[in-house]
Amino acid sequence: MVDEVTVRRAADTAWSAFRATHPDVDASDNRRCLLERHLQRRGEERESDSEELASLGLAYLHRLPADEC
């Protein structure tokens, strides 16, 4: 299990990278919440570091359909 600080750091990193490549996405977009929940579940499934979780989170964001968020 991953601690909350690691998940938060991973979410911040993935969200920053995603927004850097998608400048039209607002900081308060619903995808941020979806990302945090996804990373929390992934962290509960197995031990991961923040870099690995950030990579998983960024991949998750890219898979989300933009028109459903």
Measure the CA angle with vertex 41, ends 16 and 39; round to 5°: 10
Does the pLDDT of residue 57 top 70, yes or no?
yes
Read off the pLDDT of residues 40-49 as tens digits, 9 standing for 90 and up: 998 888 778 8
Q: State pTM to two decimals.
A: 0.85
Answer for the pair 18, 25: CB distance below 8 angstroms, yes or no.
yes
57 vs 46, more confident: 57
Give dist(CA 9, CA 64) in Å, integer. 21
